[in-house]
Every structure is written in structure tokens, then in C-alpha cells.
């Protein structure tokens, strides 16, 4: 038997996508760790299994981070899923409805006319929450949280996008010590499920734009994070730094965030390759 995996990326945040629409089980922690390993496997920030949908959903998304742990939601990952789901004939060609552990998420799809593949997708990511119990974070208020590590003091807000985020303001994300301090902030004891950490600043000379680097829970620094971009834009708006239409510059490209009762995230998706993996190799 072989297992087909598709590798895709969305602003550099890369995922392996596996279709399991025939009732086969989702991928386990060990399999996810092995195929996501960048030295001994294929390499990716996470593994997505596309499972059958129900009650009006076209499919169900299960996401495991590169460390094998379950993640509730990924704004970039769900766009990669959309590419594979569209190729498999799910949805009506322009819209896809996906159930995730963070809730139901509808996507509007833009396809490339010659090939018919999805090249851009906009996802209704649901509403941001600043309620501590919903994020979750063990503090009276999600606002103006302090953290310090190795002499560097961070200040920011916690936010929930179906998964937890700690958005900290820095002078310049390009010089922020993301890889050195991100692992410590991820395990901040106030976040019972650990947290993603966004290092952000207003983009100089560009209104309604922020620049962001991110340390993703269970992965490390990634080139982009969709839920992180939504959380960062919401925090920036609450602080009066941007309006309701925000461009989020990440190392992997640009994302668009529309803030309202719910948050809409738009961005590109790129298919890299397909691979048929012998399941005996996957189990080693």
C-alpha cells in the first residue's frame, strides 16, 4: 500500500496534505513527526488529514504540528487543504466548507483558469476572543501582559483564534530574538495549552500594515502563520495602530486581514509536489 501526500505552502508556511475520504483513520502522532521531519522525512510545518464532512461541511480537517501534537486550526493550513479538496472535487468550485477543531470555516476560492487549481483563498476565521478562559490564559485580563526572558522585557496581549496567541510588540521584528526567546514564551505558565507567539510592529511608512515574525507552538519559527496574522491584526487594531483592513507582512509574503464581527484571512496557496509514500517506510 502507498500513502499519497501533497506538499503545499501558503506564504511559506508548508504542509503535507493527505486525503482520507474513504473512511481510513487520520494520521497518528508518530507518522506526523516522521513525515514532517526536515532531515529524515519529507519536511513540513504540519500534516493535515482531510476527512469526510458531515452536517453540511464538505470535509473535516485534522491538523498535527511537526512535533505530532494536535493543533486546533491553521489559517495557512486550511488554504493548503482547500487546494487538495478542490482537486478531489469537494465543494462547488468556488466555495468550500470545512469543519476544524476550532469550528466550522467557510472559504471562498480563486482558481487559475488554465489549470483550474486554487491559487488564492479567503477564509472566514471566526471571531477573535480576548476572554481569558476562551483563549485560554490564566490571567484576569488578556491585555497588557508582561513577560521577561534573559533581560528582555516583552509586553502585549493574549488573543484566541480557536488556538492561543501571545502577541508582543517589538521595535523591529527583523531583529527580535524569535528563535532564542520564542521557546520560552511558548511555554509561559499562564497558557495551559502553550501558545503561539507573534512579534509585531507597525510597518514604517505604510498605513494599516504590520510586520510580523512568529514562533509557532510545536513547530518553531515559521515563515507565516494565518491565525497569528489574524490575532496580530486584531491586537494592533485594538491598540489603535491599524484600521479594519490590514496587510500583514510575514517573511513568506503578505496576508490580508479584514476585521469585523468575524475575521477574514486571505492569501495565496502554492502546490509544490505530490509523493506516494510506501506505508512500510512511513512506519519505520
> Is residue 244 domain-shared with residue 275, that is, in the same domain?
no
> Is residue 116 domain-shared with residue 26, that is, in the same domain?
yes
> Is residue 72 domain-shared with residue 137, that is, in the same domain?
no
> Is residue 249 domain-shared with residue 273, that is, in the same domain?
no
Q: With 80 as the cut, is the pLDDT of residue 284 above it? A: no
Question: Mean pLDDT throughout 4-20?
Answer: 97
pLDDT in tens, 80-134: 999 999 999 999 999 999 999 999 999 999 999 888 999 999 999 999 999 999 9
- pTM: predicted TM-score of the whole model, two decimal places: 0.93
End-to-end CA distance of the chain: 15
Q: Contact 212/200 with Cβ under 8 angstroms?
A: yes
What percent of the chain stands above pLDDT 90?
A: 93
Question: Mean pLDDT throughout 255-264?
Answer: 98
Instruction: Count other Cβ atoms within 10 Å, centred on residue 220.
Output: 17
In which domain, by residue range, is 200 found? 132-261
> Is residue 209 domain-shared with residue 164, that is, in the same domain?
yes
> Is residue 70 domain-shared with residue 146, that is, in the same domain?
no
Question: Mean pLDDT throughout 215-228?
Answer: 96
For the four alpha carbons of 227, 211, 246 and 166, in that order, the dihedral sign comes to positive
Distance (Å, rounded) from C-alpha 145 to C-alpha 182? 16
pLDDT in tens, 135-193: 999 999 999 999 999 999 999 999 999 999 999 999 999 999 999 999 999 999 999 99
Instruction: Count other Cβ atoms within 10 Å, centred on residue 216.
Output: 26
Distance (Å, rounded) from C-alpha 100 to C-alpha 131? 21
> Is residue 244 domain-shared with residue 167, that is, in the same domain?
yes
Which CATH number characterizes residue 98's domain? 3.10.310.10
Number of domains in the chain: 2
> Is residue 141 domain-shared with residue 254, that is, in the same domain?
yes
> Is residue 27 domain-shared with residue 93, that is, in the same domain?
yes
Residue 148's nearest CA partner among 177, 175, 174, 118 is: 177
> Is residue 251 domain-shared with residue 275, that is, in the same domain?
no
> Is residue 118 domain-shared with residue 238, that is, in the same domain?
no
> Is residue 141 domain-shared with residue 249, that is, in the same domain?
yes
SS3 14: strand
Amino acid at each position: 500500500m502507498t500513502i499519497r501526500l501533497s506538499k503545499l505552502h501558503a506564504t511559506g508556511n508548508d504542509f503535507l496534505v493527505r486525503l482520507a475520504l474513504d473512511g481510513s483513520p487520520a494520521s497518528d502522532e508518530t507518522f506526523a513527526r516522521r513525515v514532517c521531519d526536515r532531515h529524515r522525512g519529507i519536511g513540513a510545518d504540519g500534516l493535515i488529514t482531510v476527512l469526510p464532512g458531515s452536517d453540511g461541511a464538505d470535509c473535516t480537517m485534522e491538523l498535527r504540528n511537526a512535533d505530532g501534537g494536535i493543533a486546533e486550526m491553521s489559517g495557512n493550513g486550511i488554504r493548503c487543504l482547500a487546494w487538495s479538496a478542490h482537486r478531489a472535487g469537494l465543494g462547488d468550485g468556488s466555495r468550500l466548507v470545512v469543519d476544524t477543531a476550532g469550528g466550522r470555516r467557510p472559504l471562498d476560492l480563486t482558481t487559475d483558469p488554465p489549470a483550474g487549481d486554487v491559487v488564492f483563498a479567503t477564509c472566514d476565521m471566526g471571531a477573535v476572543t480576548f476572554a481569558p478562559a476562551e483563549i485560554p490564559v490564566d490571567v484576569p485580563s488578556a491585555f497588557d501582559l508582561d513577560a521577561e526572558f534573559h533581560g528582555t522585557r516583552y509586553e502585549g496581549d493574549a488573543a484566541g483564534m480557536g488556538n492561543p496567541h501571545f502577541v508582543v510588540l517589538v521595535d523591529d521584528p527583523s531583529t527580535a530574538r524569535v528563535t532564542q526567546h520564542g521557546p520560552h514564551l511558548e511555554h509561559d505558565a499562564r497558557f495551559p495549552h502553550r501558545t503561539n507567539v507573534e512579534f509585531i510592529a507597525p510597518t514604517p511608512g505604510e498605513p494599516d500594515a504590520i510586520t510580523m515574525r512568529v514562533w509557532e507552538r510545536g513547530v518553531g519559527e515559521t515563515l507565516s502563520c494565518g491565525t497569528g496574522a489574524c490575532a496580530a491584526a486584531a491586537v494592533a487594531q485594538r491598540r489603535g495602530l491599524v484600521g479594519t483592513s490590514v496587510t500583514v507582512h510575514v517573511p513568506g509574503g503578505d496576508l490580508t486581514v479584514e476585521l469585523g464581527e468575524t475575521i477574514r484571512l486571505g492569501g495565496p496557496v502554492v502546490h509544490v509536489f505530490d509523493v506516494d509514500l510506501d506505508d512500510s517506510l512511513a512506519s519505520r
